Amino acid sequence: MNAFINISYIVASILFIFGLKMLSSANTARRGNMVSALGMLIAIVATLLHEGMSYQWIILGLIVGGLIGSTAARLVKMTAMPEMVALFNGFGGIASLLVGWSEFHAHPDSPTFTLVAVSLAVLIGGITFSGSLIAYAKLAEKIDGKPLLFSGQQVVNGVLVIAALLLVIVFAASPNAYPALVLLILLALALGVLAVIPIGGADMPVVIALLNSYSGLAACAAGFVILNNVLIVAGALVGASGLILTTIMCKAMNRSLANVLFSGFGSAASGGGGGYQGEANPVSVDDAYYILEAARSVVFVPGYGMAVAQAQHAVRELGELLEANGAEVKYAIHPVAGRMPGHMNVLLAEANVPYEQLVVPEDVNPIMSSVDVAIVIGANDVVNPAAREDKNSPLWGMPIINTDHARTCIVCKRSLNPGFAGVDNPLFFKENTRMLFGDAKKSFQELVSQFKDS
């Protein structure tokens, strides 16, 4: 039986790897998801074949977890996906922490290698859990999204990290180190909070990617604790892919990975911006229609405001009408648009926007000056020209989508208020910018009606 279980784990691991690879392409992503799901099913069934399993608790866990998951899937809105992902990361971390804790409780005389794995599962899992709860609270606006800083914060964090590593050594070296384990759990939870509170809410996409990596590393450590090969492989895959995604996010925001790892990340991006003055040029839906009707190239730039308004279907319908009118249509997606990695991609995929029309900033920026109309839908920081023009701006140096270089830029927004980062946007006052004030969904539905009635 053990040989069959190990072979099943190998098959599941292979399916995880192939499924992850298939997720890199839109054409194979759905199939890759199913392949990975099949791998997880095989892993679960193989695990249930182990001797001495307590099935009554497993069945109870399946029922409770299934009810919670299905309820969340039905009730949680797309705009709340970032905070739900943050919670899922946290649940993964606390699960690894509890696995390590329970294994030590059951086998306190474990060898040193297992004790090291237990301590790492507890440390990383605790940081992931409490850090993810803070990320959730900031994304859900349960607490202020601005960075929370205090004097000597870096020193305090450094001392806690050193203390945690010392506790790992003490725990692994001592046969009766239960107090050290309890202290390690408390330190891990404190570190998670202190690592995330100095990070601004607008920088949460990077934090979510990093916490996702942490949850994978915690699961990998838990796999070494219980000697489960498939958990080791799956955790390593999640940890590595999350770290790669974190690097991509950092590059997109012109920040180093060290800023994330040693906290304080995003604190520079707080504050009120440059206090730009000027006169915005509002545009009515009727006037916006005439501008778009004459356009031969249009680039949509979606942001979190599109998610709040649930305007993605109206945007896709307008895009199709523009194509029918002879315009070339693209959708420019900034890596950190929205509040989690891939947020805009998910919304546009839900609206059945062709993947081939999605472009990244480096593809569209060189041709932006030849674009007739750039339509910004609730985005702010990722199109803020202060990142190029104002060295005193908190966004200075961040790669943006150069919508201000288009012949006409239409910004669909409720008001002139700054975005989630709290930084003013001089784009609103550019000569070629027209502000289409109001609810994005309603505005685009009216534009769609104009095209259909013409």
Residues 344-392: tens digit of each pLDDT: 988 898 898 988 899 999 999 999 999 999 999 988 889 999 888 888 8
11 vs 35: CA distance, rounded Å: 11
Residue 289 reports pLDDT greater than 90: yes
Long-range pairs, 315-319, Cβ under 8 A, ≥24: 315/348, 315/351, 315/353, 315/377, 315/440, 315/444, 316/348, 316/351, 316/352, 316/353, 317/444, 317/448, 318/292, 318/444, 318/447, 318/448, 318/451, 319/353, 319/357
Query: Global pTM?
Result: 0.82
Q: What is the mean pLDDT of the chain?
A: 88
Q: Which residues contact 71 (CB under 8 A, 6 or more apart)?
A: none
Q: What pLDDT is recorded for position 253?
A: 75
CA 36 to chain centre: 20
The pLDDT of residue 270 is 43
Q: Indicate which residue of 203, 381, 404, 424 is catalytic.
A: 381
Q: Which two tokens stand for residue 281?
A: 């040029």
Q: 3-48 pLDDT, tens per residue? A: 899 899 999 999 999 999 998 777 788 899 999 999 999 999 998 8
pLDDT recorded at residue 259: 64
DSSP-based three-state secondary structure for 331: strand
Q: For 420-434, what is each residue's pLDDT tens digit?
A: 667 789 999 999 999
Could you identify the residue written with the tokens 């099913």?
41
Distance (Å, whole) CA 164 – CA 203:
27
Using pLDDT thresholds of 50, 70 and 90, give the confidence band for residue 268: very low
Mean per-residue pLDDT for 318-322? 96
SS3 for 328?
Answer: strand
Q: Is 286 a catalytic residue?
A: no
pLDDT the model gives residue 19: 93
Is the CATH number 2.40.110.10 carried by domain 285-453?
Answer: no
Q: Which segments of the chain belong to CATH 3.40.50.1220?
A: 285-453
Average pLDDT of the residues in 267-277: 49
Helices 204-226 and 112-139 sit at what angle, rounded to 10 degrees? Answer: 150
With a CB cutoff of 8 Å and minimum separation 6, the contacts of 156 are: 194
Query: In the predicted model, is pLDDT for residue 51 greater than 90?
Result: no
State the greatest distance between any 2 C-alpha atoms of the chain, in Å, as a whole number: 81
Collapsing DSSP states into helix, strand and coil, what is residue 263?
coil
Say what the pLDDT of residue 313 is. Answer: 94
